[in-house]
């Protein structure tokens, strides 16, 4: 299905964005996007449990603790 | 049925500590020691039965490949005994040694680390192995940085990053294995891998070896070890050097021998072991400053020796590896425990600060000498018997390669003699920089150290005490089909 | 040098994985134990969600290990993010540099808080019937606390109740397992009656275990979030 | 989806590679930890993709779908549930350590942190 291809490409692009962004907050948001798309992919792979866990933990809480940690340290990658 | 308690009790203890700590902080510090002592008792009581036939414990009430199972064979049980024994001594030592708050968290982390190690050696399921490995390594990361000083934090995050890459590799390896065999039980996988594609098998095996090799400190995956073992609190270094890396080596051996039957990779393992050995010993020799770093490099070297012996794919080779593992654990735990209090008393990790200490604290000095002589391989200590059996096993292969490797081992031993004699010389035959007496260690440290030293001597003099168990363990690892049979039944 | 090493390692792994995965065709049936779980899962455990049956019955020890990993992580955070007490300035205690949130956000978060907790509880109580379970429910509960932290600058979590919840839930898990050992002869055995399929009170010990996990994960993740918020970046 | 459509594998392996490359080549600690989470996500995707079977449904019995022979493999999903939670634990611990390192050095640049050079 074409959707899967589009989602996969979008996920990889988001992953590359997480690599390239100098602003760490932006990189973390890109990382959350990867998790979110991965969670949709999990759903399409008929793994609703995993999709829920990935959305709640991978995209939600992980991003939150990343953002807190970045606030406590430095925002930009030098 | 009792064998399950070996795992269940440590979990229960770890979860109990915070509750007990609310009532009485002091009481909670004793829980790890109590749990480990109970474990030791259970494990020893199982020993006679296990020597006849391995006990296979199914969990959750289903037979082996369906549910997770424990394989309490001579190897697993022997290592579990070693872990709970050393764990008990280190927990006793930790009660008075640890000064930094939050102490109850330290004791919880020690207990979870020991739980992870016990689980790893007993489990018969590859994903469960991974989960226990994660318990072990996460506790080690947290304990490495427990002092929260510069060196400890750096070492912890370095260890964490390398360890996490390793775990990701393990998980990919498990995914590939599951992809071909459709099962996670190690015996079941072993029964199914024979017909699979060699490229895939090689890839899965290398990923798993790399992953567990990070913990086992095989060259070139051991960059984290000297930092972590030297900056952790000394009681933690004793566990890391005496238990954690050995468990990693066990996992590598289990993967190579049982899961893959990887005879092609054995020589590679031996060669990597020799490289690790030489690099470790040379780095230790060059270390003129920090005693804990010296001991850490010596651990690297000893792990290389164990890997070399595991690579000699014979009963005698595995037996020698296990013997070396036991004697290294005892000696290195002793050295780290002793050096911990000495560093605390002297106020410095510098080798030069230790000048003349052996004469000021004669008892501790003598214990250290026992451990050092055993590591070097001087009779009548345990280390002599183990090194001797490695040499004998390698020569029994009648192959030029292994003879060559043994020559390199002897070279490494000479280097080892060099730096350890220097250590002894500093301890006993150098004039102290400062006058004034230094107290002997407190009783909570002296007792564990004395027990360890006594065992080193007893095993050295009466090796038959453990060789029977080790021989059973070795043949249990080498005889793959017997393992598969005992887990899956007659299939 | 560094880039070269990285690239060669990556190239090796890509080639290896590509070669390996070509032997594992996507989307084909290769199940061994999986078939057993699908065919017998409901009869064995009473859980209509087979993933739950696997997680909490066939492979329950993994789950115990996994909550222990989270437990260790929250312990580690407690160690690393606690700074020596005496150096703590009384001035900055309890103050974060954020501007105070608007009234709507504050009241809104307080209004949503119980609802989110309730939703988390719903997720883990129905773990054996529908997608979701202790981990998902627990993280939803933690997100409620996260919302409170974000919405109210002065919000503080008391750590003692969290610790108690955490350990009690962990002890419940192990004790239920030990009762299984005593009654059925196997650790983590499902010793309670399986009940009717599709009803809330079914699947024996699974709802109990999943509730324990939900509470434990919720408490641990909330503790992690609280520790992160309360830590200071400097001495 | 046609048989043997490898797009999922490409996505998973691609994510693993991006994650590994980030860990190996970046010099900012937070960035390295981001790389670790990407690596984890990739591995999880790979595991679930290996358990997928064409033309089947999620492994949850309902009144509408009660035929176990029409379901995908539940085992990798159970494993990934475990792996996701473990990944979160590792990430949290790593971030706490990074905050601690920042407290010591006032930087997250691994070139300036003595013990992390390579």
ipTM here:
0.92
> CA-to-CA distance for B333 and A34, rounded, in angstroms?
45
The structural domain count of chain C equals: 1
Whether the pLDDT of residue B443 is over 80: the answer is yes
Chain B CB contacts of D86 below 8 Å: 131, 134, 167
> Does the CB of C12 have a partner CB in chain D at under 8 Å?
no
Residue C87 has pLDDT above 50, yes or no: no
Residue A35, in any domain of the structure: yes
Give the residue-averaged pLDDT of B213-224: 87
- Domain range for residue C112? 57-81+102-235
Min distance B150 CA to chain D CA atoms (Å): 6
D8 and chain A: CB distance < 8 Å anywhere? yes
- Residue-wise pLDDT for B142-167, tens only, equals 999 898 888 888 899 999 999 999 99
For position B441, what pLDDT does the model report? 78
The tokens for B170 are 């393990």
Q: Which residues on adjacent β-strands are paired with residue B70?
A: B57, B123
Q: For residue range C170-195, list pLDDT tens digits in order.
A: 999 888 888 888 887 788 777 777 77
Q: What is the pLDDT of residue A19?
A: 92
The Cα-based distances of D69 to C175, D47, D60 in angstroms read: 35, 21, 12
Share of chain D above pLDDT 90, in %: 42
Give a yes or no: residue C154 inside a domain: yes
Q: Are B305 and B391 in contact (CB under 8 A)?
A: no
Q: Which of C167, C110, C172, C115 is nearest to C141 (CA)?
A: C115
C140 touches chain A (CB under 8 A): yes
A–D interface: beta-carbon pairs under 8 A: 138
The whole-angstrom separation of Cα B18 and Cα B388 is 47
User: What is the spatial distance between Cα B136 and Cα B142, in angstroms, rounded to a whole number?
Assistant: 10
Mean pLDDT of C49-67: 87
Report the range of poorest mean pLDDT among B155-169, B362-376, B414-428, C24-38. C24-38
What is the topology classification, in CATH, of domain D7-55+68-116? Helix Hairpins (1.10.287)
3-class SS of residue B436: coil
| Cα gap B117→B115, rounded to integer Å | 5
Which H or E element spans position B245? Answer: helix B245-254
Instruction: Return the SS3 of B42.
Output: helix
Confidence check: pLDDT of B486 > 60: yes
Residue C54 in contact with partner chain D when CB distance is under 8 A:
yes
Q: Of residues C170 and C1, which shows the higher confidence score?
A: C170
Q: Do D61 and C50 touch (CB under 8 A)?
A: yes
pLDDT band at B251 (very low <50, low <70, confident <90, very high): very high
The verdict on A52 touching C (C-beta cutoff 8 Å) is: yes
Closest by Cα among C83, C112, C114, C69 to C220: C69
pLDDT of D52 > 90? The answer is no
Q: DSSP characters for B452-477?
A: HHHHHHHHHH-THHHHHHHHHHHHHH
CA neighbours closer than 13 Å in the CB half-sphere of residue D26: 28
DSSP string, B164-191: HHHHHHHHHHHHHHHHHHS--BHHHHHH
- Residue B356 has what pLDDT? 81
**Residue B299, helix vs strand vs coil:** helix
CA distances from B111 to C71, C128, D88 (A): 12, 32, 21
pLDDT in tens, D81-92: 999 999 999 999
Q: How far apart, in Å, are the Cα atoms of B469 and each of B1, B43, C109?
A: 22, 13, 62
- Residue whose C-alpha is closest to residue C33's, from D75, A46, B195, B129: D75
Per the structure, the count of domains in chain A is 1
Question: CB of C142 within 8 Å of any CB in chain A?
Answer: yes
Residues of B in contact with D90 (CB under 8 A): 134, 138, 160, 164, 167
Domain with A58, as residue range(s), is: 2-72
Q: Specify the higher pLDDT residue, B370 or D6.
A: B370
- pTM, whole model, 2 decimals? 0.94
Which pLDDT score, from 0 to 100, does residue C197 have? 67
Residue predicted with more confidence, A75 or B146: B146
**Cβ separation A42–D48 shorter than 8 A:** yes
Find all residues with CB under 8 Å of A77, minimum gap 6, and list them: A22, A23, A24, A27, D26, D28, D30, D31
In this complex, whether B and A touch, counting 3 or more CB pairs under 8 angstroms, is: no
Task: Quote the crossing angle between the two packed helices B31-52 and B464-478, to the nearest 10°.
Answer: 70
Question: How far is C-alpha B62 from the chain's CA centre?
Answer: 32
- In chain C, the percentage of residues whose pLDDT exceeds 90 is 9
| Residue B464 neighbours by CB distance under 10 Å | 8
User: Lowest-pLDDT range, B20-29, B446-455, C128-137?
Assistant: C128-137
Report chain C's terminal Cα–Cα distance, integer Å. Answer: 37
The C-alpha atoms of residue C17 and residue B202 are separated, in whole angstroms, by: 11
**pLDDT score of C176:** 87
C157 Rama sector, left if φ>0, alpha if ψ -120 to 50, beta otherwise: beta
Give B 179-208 residues with CB within 8 A of chain C. 179-185, 188, 192, 196-197, 199-200, 203-204, 206
Token readout for C166 is 């955490």
What value does the mean pLDDT take over residues B437-442? 76
Are the C-beta atoms of residues A62 and D91 closer than 8 Å to each other?
yes
- Is B145 touching D (CB cutoff 8 A)? yes
Mean per-residue pLDDT over chain B, rounded: 89
- In what helix (H) or strand (E) does residue B393 lie, and over which residues does it extend? helix B382-395
- Give the whole-angstrom CA distance, residue B364 versus residue B344: 14
* Chain B contact present for C71, CB below 8 A: yes
Say yes or no for a CB contact (<8 Å) between B165 and D16: no
pLDDT of residue D5: 60
- Report d(CA C80, CA C75) in Å as an integer: 9
pLDDT at D70: 80
Give the pLDDT confidence score for residue C232 in this predicted structure: 64
pLDDT tier for residue C95 given thresholds of 50, 70 and 90:
very low
- A32 to chain C, any CB pair closer than 8 A? The answer is no
Using DSSP's 3-state secondary structure scheme, residue B441 falls into coil
C interface test, pick of B3, B7, B9, B18 with most C CB neighbours within 10 Å: B18
Of C136, C228, C231, nearest to A52 by CB-CB distance is: C136
pLDDT digit string, tens, across residues B410-423: 999 999 999 999 88
Q: Mean per-residue pLDDT for C162-174?
A: 89
Residue C159 lies in a domain: yes
In the three-class reduction of DSSP (H, G, I as helix; E, B as strand; rest coil), residue D57 is classed as: strand
Q: Residue B336: which of B371, B286, B378 has the closest Cα? A: B371
Tell me the average pLDDT across B248-255: 92
Domain spans of chain D? 7-55+68-116
**Is the alpha carbon torsion for C71, B178, D49, D61 positive or negative?**
negative
Give which of D74, D90, D111 to mutate to test B binding, by max B Cβ within 10 Å.
D90
DSSP B377: T
Min Cα separation A78/chain D (Å):
7
Tell me the helices (H) and strands (E) count for chain B, helix number first. Answer: 22, 2
Cβ contacts of C123 on chain A, cutoff 8 Å: 52
Interchain proximity D116–B154, CB inside 8 Å: yes
Tell me, what's the pLDDT at C94?
Answer: 45
Is B180 within 8 Å of C82 when comparing Cβ atoms? no
Query: Cα–Cα distance between B409 and B312 in angstroms, integer?
Result: 14
- Give contacts of D 34-53 with A, CB under 8 A: 34-35, 37-38, 41, 44-45, 48-49, 51-52
Q: Are B154 and D89 inside 8 Å of each other by CB?
A: no
Residue-wise pLDDT tens digits, A24-70: 999 999 999 999 999 999 998 888 889 989 998 988 899 999 998 99
């Amino acid at each position: 299905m074409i959707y899967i291809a589009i989602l996969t490409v979008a996920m990889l692009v988001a992953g590359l964005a997480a690599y390239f962004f100098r602003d760490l907050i932006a990189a973390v948001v890109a990382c959350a996007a990867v998790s979110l798309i991965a969670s949709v992919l999990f759903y399409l792979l008929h793994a609703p449990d995993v999709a829920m866990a990935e959305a709640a933990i991978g995209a939600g809480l992980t991003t939150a603790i990343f953002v807190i940690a970045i606030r406590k340290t430095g925002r930009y990658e030098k | 049925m009792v064998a399950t308690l070996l795992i269940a009790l440590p979990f229960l203890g770890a979860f109990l500590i915070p509750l007990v700590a609310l009532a009485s902080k002091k009481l909670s510090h004793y829980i790890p020691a109590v749990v480990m002592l109970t474990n030791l008792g259970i494990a020893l009581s199982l020993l006679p039965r296990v020597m006849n036939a391995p006990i296979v414990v199914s969990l959750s009430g289903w037979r082996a490949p369906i549910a997770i199972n424990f394989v309490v064979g001579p190897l697993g049980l022997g290592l579990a005994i070693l872990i709970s024994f050393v764990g008990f001594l280190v927990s006793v030592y930790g009660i008075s040694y640890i000064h930094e708050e939050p102490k109850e968290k330290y004791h919880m982390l020690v207990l979870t680390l020991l739980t992870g190690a016990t689980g790893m050696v007993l489990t018969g399921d590859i994903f469960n192995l991974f989960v226990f490995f994660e318990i072990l390594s996460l506790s080690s990361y947290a304990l490495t940085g427990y002092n929260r000083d510069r060196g400890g934090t750096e070492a912890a995050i370095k260890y964490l990053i390398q360890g996490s890459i390793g775990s990701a590799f393990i998980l990919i390896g498990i995914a590939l294995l599951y992809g071909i065999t459709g099962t996670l039980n190690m015996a079941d996988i072993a029964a199914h891998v024979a017909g699979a594609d060699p490229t895939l098998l090689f890839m899965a095996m290398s990923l798993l070896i790399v992953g567990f090799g990070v913990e086992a400190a095989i060259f070139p995956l051991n960059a984290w070890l000297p930092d972590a073992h030297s900056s952790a609190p000394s009681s933690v270094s004793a566990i890391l050097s005496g238990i954690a890396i050995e468990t990693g080596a066990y996992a590598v051996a289990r993967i190579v021998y049982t899961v893959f039957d990887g005879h092609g990779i054995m020589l590679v393992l031996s060669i990597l072991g020799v490289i690790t050995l030489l690099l470790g010993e040379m780095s230790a020799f060059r270390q003129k400053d920090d005693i804990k770093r010296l001991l850490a490099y010596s651990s690297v070297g000893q792990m290389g020796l164990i890997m070399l012996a595991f690579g000699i794919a014979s009963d005698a080779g595995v037996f020698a590896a296990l013997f070396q593992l036991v004697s290294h654990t005892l000696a290195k735990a002793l050295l780290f425990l002793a050096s911990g209090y000495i560093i605390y008393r002297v106020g410095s990790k510098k080798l030069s600060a230790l000048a003349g200490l052996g004469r000021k604290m004669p008892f501790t000095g003598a214990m250290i000498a026992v451990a050092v002589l055993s590591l070097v391989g001087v009779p009548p200590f345990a280390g002599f018997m183990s090194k001797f059996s490695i040499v004998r096993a390698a020569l029994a292969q009648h192959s030029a390669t292994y003879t060559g490797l043994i020559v390199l081992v002897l070279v490494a031993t000479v280097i080892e003699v060099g730096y350890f004699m220097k250590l002894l010389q500093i301890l006993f035959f150098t004039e102290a920089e400062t006058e004034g007496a230094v107290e002997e260690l407190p009783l909570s440290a002296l007792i564990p150290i004395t027990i360890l030293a006594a065992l080193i001597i007893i095993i050295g003099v009466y090796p038959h005490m453990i060789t029977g168990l080790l021989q059973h363990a070795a043949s249990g690892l080498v005889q793959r089909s017997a393992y598969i049979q005992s887990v899956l039944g007659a299939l | 040098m560094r880039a070269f090493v990285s690239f060669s390692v990556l190239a090796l792994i890509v080639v290896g994985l590509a070669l390996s995965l070509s032997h594992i065709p996507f989307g084909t049936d290769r199940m061994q134990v999986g078939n057993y779980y699908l065919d017998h899962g409901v009869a064995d455990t009473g859980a209509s969600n087979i993933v739950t049956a696997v997680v909490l019955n066939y492979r329950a020890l993994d789950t115990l290990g996994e909550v222990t990993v989270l437990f260790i992580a929250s312990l580690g955070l407690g160690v690393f993010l606690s700074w020596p007490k005496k150096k703590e300035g009384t001035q900055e205690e309890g103050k974060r540099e954020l501007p105070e949130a608007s009234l709507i956000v504050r009241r809104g978060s307080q209004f949503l808080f119980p609802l989110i907790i309730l939703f988390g509880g719903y997720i883990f109580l129905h773990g054996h019937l529908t997608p979701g379970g202790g981990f998902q429910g627990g993280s939803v509960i933690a997100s409620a606390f996260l919302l409170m932290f974000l919405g109210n600058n002065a919000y503080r979590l008391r750590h003692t109740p969290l610790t108690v919840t955490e350990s009690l839930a962990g002890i419940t898990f192990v004790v239920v397992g030990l009762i299984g050992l005593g009654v059925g002869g196997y650790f983590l055995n499902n010793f309670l009656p399986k009940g009717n399929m599709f009803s809330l009170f079914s699947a024996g010990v699974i709802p109990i275990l999943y509730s324990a996990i939900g509470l434990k994960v919720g408490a641990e993740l909330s503790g992690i979030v609280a520790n992160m918020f309360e830590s200071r970046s400097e001495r | 989806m046609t048989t043997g459509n490898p797009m999922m594998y490409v996505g998973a392996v691609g994510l693993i590679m991006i994650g590994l490359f980030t860990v190996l080549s970046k010099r900012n600690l937070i960035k390295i930890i981001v790389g670790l989470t990407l690596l984890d996500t990739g591995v999880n995707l790979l595991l679930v993709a290996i358990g997928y079977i064409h033309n089947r449904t999620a492994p949850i019995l309902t009144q509408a779908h009660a035929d176990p022979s029409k379901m995908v493999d539940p085992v990798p999903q159970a494993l990934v549930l475990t792996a996701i939670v473990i990944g979160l634990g590792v990430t949290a611990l790593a971030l706490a350590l990074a905050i601690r390192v920042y407290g010591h050095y006032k930087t997250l640049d691994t070139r300036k942190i003595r013990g992390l050079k390579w």
